[in-house]
């Protein structure tokens, strides 16, 4: 399973764009990159997933360079309710791919 590295914490003011970068140097060809969000005392919630280039949904954008050794989650114009822990995961395909490996994540604090 590919190991991921992301900052432990980040602070941002309301209304700013937040970019959280995750490195995954040993990502495999069939691996997907997935981001989850977790609020205190709740289960993680899927945000976005991608394989390469750029993916955008109503919540966030995910940028993946050509070598796929890193990815950046972009949250536009954050609000106080975006304060949470954000996890970057590399999700393998095939047998055993249910083994999601959650690291410590990035604790985002949005400041008024």
Partner 1 sequence: ETGVTQTPRHLVMGMTNKKSLKCEQHLGHNAMYWYKQSAKKPLELMFVYSLEERVENNSVPSRFSPECPNSSHLFLHLHTLQPEDSALYLCASSQDQGLAGTDTQYFGPGTRLTVL
Q: Which is nearer to partner 1, 16 or 23 (CB)?
A: 23
Tokens standing for residue 24? 């995954």
Q: Which is nearer to partner 1, 22 or 92 (CB)?
A: 92
Q: Which is nearer to partner 1, 16 or 32 (CB)?
A: 32
42 binds partner 1 (CB under 8 A): yes
Instruction: Determine which residue in the list 6, 34, 70, 71 makes contact with partner 1, applying CB under 8 A.
Output: 34
HEC string for the chain = CCCCECCCEEEEECCCCEEEEEECCCCCCCCEEEEEEECCCCCCEEEEEECCEEEECCCCEEEECCCCCEEEEEECCCCHHHCEEEEEEEECCCCCCCCCCCCCCEEEEEEC
Q: Which is nearer to partner 1, 30 or 56 (CB)?
A: 30
- Which 50-89 residues touch partner 1, going by CB under 8 A? none
Count of CA atoms in the C-beta half-sphere (13 A) of 37: 16
The span of 13-21, 55-63, 67-75, 92-100 binding partner 1 (CB under 8 A) equals 92-100
Q: Find the shortest distance in angstroms from Cβ 46 to partner 1.
A: 5
């Amino acid at each position: 399973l590919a190991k991921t590295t992301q900052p432990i914490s980040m602070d941002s003011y309301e209304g700013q764009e937040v970019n959280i970068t995750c490195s995954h140097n040993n990502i495999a060809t069939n691996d997907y990159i997935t981001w989850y969000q977790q609020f205190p005392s709740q289960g993680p919630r899927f945000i976005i997933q991608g394989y390469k280039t750029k993916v955008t949904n109503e919540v966030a954008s995910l940028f993946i360079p050509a070598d796929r050794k890193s990815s950046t989650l972009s949250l536009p114009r954050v609000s106080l309710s975006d304060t949470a822990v954000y996890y970057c995961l590399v999700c393998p395909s095939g047998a055993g791919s249910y083994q999601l490996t959650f690291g410590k994540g990035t604790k985002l604090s949005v400041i008024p």
